[in-house]
Amino acid sequence: QKEVEQNSGPLSVPEGAIASLNCTYSDRVSQSFFWYRQYSGKSPELIMSIYSNGDKEDGRFTAQLNKASQYVSLLIRDSQPSDSATYLCAVKRGGDKLIFGTGTRLQVFP
Amino acid sequence: DTGVSQNPRHKITKRGQNVTFRCDPISEHNRLYWYRQTLGQGPEFLTYFQNEAQLEKSRLLSDRFSAERPKGSFSTLEIQRTEQGDSAMYLCASSEEGQGFATFGSGTRLTVV
Protein backbone atom coordinates (compact mmCIF):
# COMPACT_ATOMS: atom_id res chain seq x y z
CA GLN A 1 0.00 0.00 0.00
CA LYS A 2 1.35 3.41 -0.95
CA GLU A 3 1.59 6.00 1.79
CA VAL A 4 -0.45 8.51 -0.19
CA GLU A 5 -2.90 7.36 -2.83
CA GLN A 6 -4.69 9.34 -5.50
CA ASN A 7 -6.68 8.38 -8.55
CA SER A 8 -4.47 9.29 -11.51
CA GLY A 9 -7.45 10.38 -13.62
CA PRO A 10 -7.92 12.13 -15.86
CA LEU A 11 -10.86 13.79 -14.20
CA SER A 12 -12.79 15.72 -16.82
CA VAL A 13 -15.26 18.41 -15.80
CA PRO A 14 -17.01 21.13 -17.78
CA GLU A 15 -16.16 24.76 -17.23
CA GLY A 16 -18.07 26.17 -14.28
CA ALA A 17 -18.54 22.81 -12.55
CA ILE A 18 -17.11 21.66 -9.23
CA ALA A 19 -14.05 19.43 -9.47
CA SER A 20 -13.57 17.03 -6.57
CA LEU A 21 -10.14 15.51 -6.01
CA ASN A 22 -9.51 12.86 -3.38
CA CYS A 23 -6.52 11.49 -1.53
CA THR A 24 -6.06 8.83 1.14
CA TYR A 25 -3.07 8.29 3.37
CA SER A 26 -1.89 5.32 5.38
CA ASP A 27 -0.09 6.78 8.41
CA ARG A 28 -2.58 7.68 11.13
CA VAL A 29 -0.14 9.98 12.91
CA SER A 30 0.05 12.38 9.95
CA GLN A 31 -0.88 15.90 10.95
CA SER A 32 -0.18 18.17 7.99
CA PHE A 33 -1.54 17.90 4.48
CA PHE A 34 -0.96 19.89 1.33
CA TRP A 35 -2.31 20.24 -2.17
CA TYR A 36 0.10 21.26 -4.90
CA ARG A 37 -0.81 22.10 -8.47
CA GLN A 38 1.58 21.16 -11.25
CA TYR A 39 1.18 22.33 -14.82
CA SER A 40 2.74 20.17 -17.50
CA GLY A 41 6.50 20.65 -17.57
CA LYS A 42 6.44 22.96 -14.55
CA SER A 43 7.26 22.52 -10.88
CA PRO A 44 4.65 21.99 -8.13
CA GLU A 45 3.14 25.07 -6.53
CA LEU A 46 1.35 25.09 -3.21
CA ILE A 47 -2.34 25.93 -3.36
CA MET A 48 -3.71 24.72 -0.01
CA SER A 49 -2.58 23.41 3.34
CA ILE A 50 -4.80 21.87 6.01
CA TYR A 51 -4.01 20.68 9.51
CA SER A 52 -7.34 20.23 11.32
CA ASN A 53 -10.40 18.14 10.63
CA GLY A 54 -13.05 19.93 8.63
CA ASP A 55 -13.03 22.37 5.75
CA LYS A 56 -10.66 25.17 4.83
CA GLU A 57 -11.65 27.59 2.12
CA ASP A 58 -9.47 29.88 0.03
CA GLY A 59 -11.20 31.55 -2.89
CA ARG A 60 -12.50 28.87 -5.26
CA PHE A 61 -10.59 26.14 -3.42
CA THR A 62 -11.80 24.15 -0.41
CA ALA A 63 -9.66 21.52 1.30
CA GLN A 64 -11.37 18.93 3.46
CA LEU A 65 -9.70 16.71 6.01
CA ASN A 66 -11.07 13.67 7.80
CA LYS A 67 -8.39 12.14 10.00
CA ALA A 68 -10.61 9.32 11.24
CA SER A 69 -11.11 8.12 7.67
CA GLN A 70 -7.61 9.17 6.61
CA TYR A 71 -8.64 11.14 3.59
CA VAL A 72 -8.09 14.60 2.25
CA SER A 73 -9.99 16.19 -0.58
CA LEU A 74 -9.82 19.32 -2.68
CA LEU A 75 -12.84 20.97 -4.21
CA ILE A 76 -12.47 23.51 -6.98
CA ARG A 77 -15.57 25.56 -7.56
CA ASP A 78 -16.40 27.28 -10.85
CA SER A 79 -13.67 25.29 -12.60
CA GLN A 80 -11.83 27.12 -15.38
CA PRO A 81 -9.80 25.73 -18.27
CA SER A 82 -6.76 27.31 -16.57
CA ASP A 83 -7.30 24.89 -13.67
CA SER A 84 -6.34 22.02 -15.98
CA ALA A 85 -3.26 20.55 -14.34
CA THR A 86 -2.10 17.69 -12.15
CA TYR A 87 -3.03 18.05 -8.50
CA LEU A 88 -0.65 16.47 -6.04
CA CYS A 89 -1.63 15.52 -2.51
CA ALA A 90 1.22 15.56 -0.01
CA VAL A 91 1.60 14.50 3.62
CA LYS A 92 4.28 15.93 5.89
CA ARG A 93 6.72 13.62 7.60
CA GLY A 94 9.54 14.35 10.04
CA GLY A 95 11.84 17.18 9.07
CA ASP A 96 9.11 18.72 6.97
CA LYS A 97 9.77 16.32 4.11
CA LEU A 98 6.73 15.66 1.97
CA ILE A 99 5.38 12.34 0.77
CA PHE A 100 3.43 12.82 -2.44
CA GLY A 101 0.75 10.86 -4.19
CA THR A 102 1.01 10.20 -7.90
CA GLY A 103 -1.29 13.12 -8.64
CA THR A 104 -4.67 13.44 -10.31
CA ARG A 105 -4.82 15.00 -13.75
CA LEU A 106 -7.71 17.44 -14.06
CA GLN A 107 -9.08 18.52 -17.42
CA VAL A 108 -11.59 21.37 -17.54
CA PHE A 109 -13.23 21.64 -20.93
CA PRO A 110 -15.04 24.76 -22.23
CA ASP B 1 14.39 37.28 -3.75
CA THR B 2 13.19 35.45 -6.84
CA GLY B 3 12.39 32.12 -5.22
CA VAL B 4 14.21 28.81 -5.50
CA SER B 5 16.62 28.77 -8.42
CA GLN B 6 17.94 25.64 -10.11
CA ASN B 7 20.61 25.24 -12.74
CA PRO B 8 20.81 23.98 -15.36
CA ARG B 9 17.21 23.71 -16.52
CA HIS B 10 18.03 20.82 -18.83
CA LYS B 11 20.95 18.41 -19.00
CA ILE B 12 21.56 15.71 -21.55
CA THR B 13 24.40 13.38 -20.75
CA LYS B 14 25.79 10.11 -21.95
CA ARG B 15 25.46 7.04 -19.79
CA GLY B 16 28.42 6.71 -17.46
CA GLN B 17 29.13 10.43 -17.23
CA ASN B 18 28.93 12.44 -14.00
CA VAL B 19 26.53 15.36 -13.66
CA THR B 20 26.10 18.06 -11.04
CA PHE B 21 23.06 20.23 -10.40
CA ARG B 22 22.86 23.38 -8.33
CA CYS B 23 20.06 24.76 -6.19
CA ASP B 24 19.86 28.21 -4.63
CA PRO B 25 17.07 28.29 -2.04
CA ILE B 26 15.05 31.24 -0.83
CA SER B 27 17.57 33.19 1.24
CA GLU B 28 15.88 33.02 4.64
CA HIS B 29 15.03 29.32 4.36
CA ASN B 30 17.25 27.04 6.42
CA ARG B 31 15.84 23.77 5.08
CA LEU B 32 16.60 22.50 1.60
CA TYR B 33 15.21 19.38 -0.04
CA TRP B 34 15.92 17.36 -3.15
CA TYR B 35 13.20 15.38 -4.87
CA ARG B 36 13.10 13.32 -8.05
CA GLN B 37 10.06 13.12 -10.29
CA THR B 38 9.50 10.73 -13.18
CA LEU B 39 6.70 10.93 -15.71
CA GLY B 40 3.30 10.19 -14.24
CA GLN B 41 4.58 10.07 -10.67
CA GLY B 42 4.64 12.49 -7.79
CA PRO B 43 7.93 13.86 -6.51
CA GLU B 44 9.94 11.36 -4.46
CA PHE B 45 12.00 12.56 -1.53
CA LEU B 46 15.75 12.09 -1.89
CA THR B 47 17.43 14.07 0.88
CA TYR B 48 17.22 17.20 2.98
CA PHE B 49 19.49 19.65 4.77
CA GLN B 50 19.00 21.88 7.73
CA ASN B 51 21.59 24.57 7.26
CA GLU B 52 24.72 22.68 6.21
CA ALA B 53 23.80 19.40 7.91
CA GLN B 54 22.37 16.61 5.79
CA LEU B 55 19.76 15.17 8.13
CA GLU B 56 18.12 12.47 6.08
CA LYS B 57 18.74 10.46 2.95
CA SER B 58 16.19 8.25 1.23
CA ARG B 59 16.94 4.66 0.35
CA LEU B 60 16.40 5.87 -3.23
CA LEU B 61 19.68 7.76 -2.96
CA SER B 62 22.20 5.17 -4.06
CA ASP B 63 25.92 5.57 -3.44
CA ARG B 64 26.20 7.15 -6.90
CA PHE B 65 24.30 10.16 -5.59
CA SER B 66 25.80 12.74 -3.30
CA ALA B 67 24.45 16.05 -2.11
CA GLU B 68 26.17 18.89 -0.32
CA ARG B 69 25.26 22.21 1.17
CA PRO B 70 28.65 23.44 2.28
CA LYS B 71 27.81 26.84 3.73
CA GLY B 72 24.17 26.34 4.45
CA SER B 73 23.18 28.32 1.40
CA PHE B 74 23.22 26.73 -2.06
CA SER B 75 23.28 22.98 -2.57
CA THR B 76 24.65 20.65 -5.21
CA LEU B 77 23.45 17.21 -6.21
CA GLU B 78 25.95 15.04 -8.04
CA ILE B 79 25.19 11.81 -9.85
CA GLN B 80 28.18 9.68 -10.73
CA ARG B 81 28.23 7.09 -13.52
CA THR B 82 24.78 8.04 -14.73
CA GLU B 83 22.36 5.35 -15.86
CA GLN B 84 19.32 5.62 -18.11
CA GLY B 85 17.13 5.06 -15.07
CA ASP B 86 18.42 8.33 -13.64
CA SER B 87 16.52 10.25 -16.31
CA ALA B 88 14.01 12.36 -14.40
CA MET B 89 13.19 15.85 -13.21
CA TYR B 90 15.27 16.76 -10.16
CA LEU B 91 13.43 19.23 -7.99
CA CYS B 92 14.86 21.34 -5.22
CA ALA B 93 12.67 22.91 -2.56
CA SER B 94 13.26 25.04 0.50
CA SER B 95 11.40 26.00 3.64
CA GLU B 96 11.82 27.64 7.02
CA GLU B 97 12.02 25.20 9.89
CA GLY B 98 8.52 24.40 11.08
CA GLN B 99 6.90 26.13 8.13
CA GLY B 100 5.49 22.81 7.01
CA PHE B 101 5.28 23.44 3.32
CA ALA B 102 8.07 23.83 0.84
CA THR B 103 8.56 26.08 -2.16
CA PHE B 104 9.85 24.33 -5.25
CA GLY B 105 12.29 25.47 -7.88
CA SER B 106 11.72 24.98 -11.58
CA GLY B 107 13.70 21.75 -11.60
CA THR B 108 16.51 20.29 -13.67
CA ARG B 109 15.43 17.81 -16.30
CA LEU B 110 18.08 15.13 -16.79
CA THR B 111 18.13 12.91 -19.85
CA VAL B 112 20.66 10.09 -19.93
CA VAL B 113 21.26 8.72 -23.42
- A66-107 pLDDT tens trace: 999 999 999 999 999 999 999 999 999 877 789 999 999 999
- SS3 for chain A is CCCEECCCCCEEEECCCCEEEEEEECCCCCCCEEEEEECCCCCCEEEEEECCCEEEEECCEEEEEECCCCEEEEEECCCCHHHCEEEEEEEECHHHCEEECCCEEEEEEC
pLDDT at B1: 53
Cβ-defined contact of B42 to A49 (cutoff 8 Å): no
In Å, how far is B102's CA from the nearest CA of chain A? 8
**Mean per-residue pLDDT pooled into runs of 10, chain B (113 residues):** 89 98 94 95 94 91 93 94 97 86 94 97
Partner A contacted by B46 (CB < 8 A): no
CA-nearest residue of chain A to B40? A102
pLDDT at A29: 85
CA-nearest residue of chain B to A35? B101
Q: Which of A8, A96, A102, A105 to mutate to test the interface with B (most CBs of B within 10 A)?
A: A96
Is pLDDT of A2 > 90?
A: no
Partner A contacted by B9 (CB < 8 A): no
